[in-house]
Amino acid sequence: MMLSVVIPALNEEGIVGKTVKSIPVDKLNEIGLDTEIIVVNNASTDRTAEEAEEAGARVIYEEKRGYGNAYIRGLSEARGEIILMGDADGTYPLEKAHEFIKPILDGECDFIMGSRFEGEMEDGAMPALHRYIGNPMLSKMLNILFKSKVKDTHCGMRAFKKEAIEKLDLKSPGMEFAIEMVIEASEKNLKIQQIPIDYRVRGGEAKLSSFKDGWRHVSYMLNRKFFNKKEYYPNSK
């Protein structure tokens, strides 16, 4: 069986190599998994691609910038029966990949979501606005509108069976991809399990814009719920 680790990267020179090397390939081999690491170079203008390749990743180029564009391309290239998602910036504990995916290996679920609010969060890892207002509010809104029960709907560390993700209609090119996946998984009745994870201060420059990105997520949810616009994208990046 193969595990594909898919990592989107936009100008993550200086941290992407460390992130790739943190993935415990030996421990994954011990539990019977071959591992491929895919870094999707999302039109970076620095040495992200070279650094990722030097660290042992297979680098794929996606010229259309956007979180969703990068993942849609990476997921299409993944060869593993199990796929693990994580960011290139060092925030997520990919060194615990072998523990994180265990519920899938044990046949307990189709889809695993990390829960940052139930794990240890480093000081400064998440702005107070996001930690206490933005993320809880958006998660509650999604759960009410789409009858989901996910505690941390924007957590970027996730794992799933490839056969399960292929049932989802994922189209969003931008940050809305994160909630689109949760909504689709809930609507398609995937068996979801949530696991507490630690969350660390990112390496490199942050790319999120609190109010603009928050409004994009709100707009996506409202338009999808009340106007059935699955392809409504306030912003493509």
Mean pLDDT per 10-residue segment, the chain (237 residues): 97 97 98 98 96 98 95 97 97 97 97 95 82 85 93 95 94 94 95 96 70 82 85 53
pLDDT of residue 227: 84
Do the Cβ atoms of 61 and 74 come closer than 8 Å?
no
In the chain, the domains with their CATH numbers are 2-227 (3.90.550.10)
pLDDT of residue 206: 62
Sign of CA dihedral 19, 115, 177, 213: negative
Say how far apart CA 218 and CA 196 lie, in whole Å.
25
pLDDT of residue 134: 74
Sign of CA dihedral 199, 47, 207, 153: negative
pLDDT of residue 234: 53
Measured N-to-C along each axis, helices 210-227 and 177-187 cross at an angle, to the nearest 10 degrees, of 30
pLDDT of residue 214: 74
Under DSSP, the state recorded for 109 is -
pLDDT of residue 124: 83
Residue 82, classed as helix, strand or coil, is strand
Do the Cβ atoms of 143 and 149 come closer than 8 Å?
yes
pLDDT of residue 131: 80
Q: How far is CA 144 from CA 12, 21, 105, 217, in A?
A: 35, 39, 30, 14
Say how far apart CA 97 and CA 46 lie, in whole Å.
27
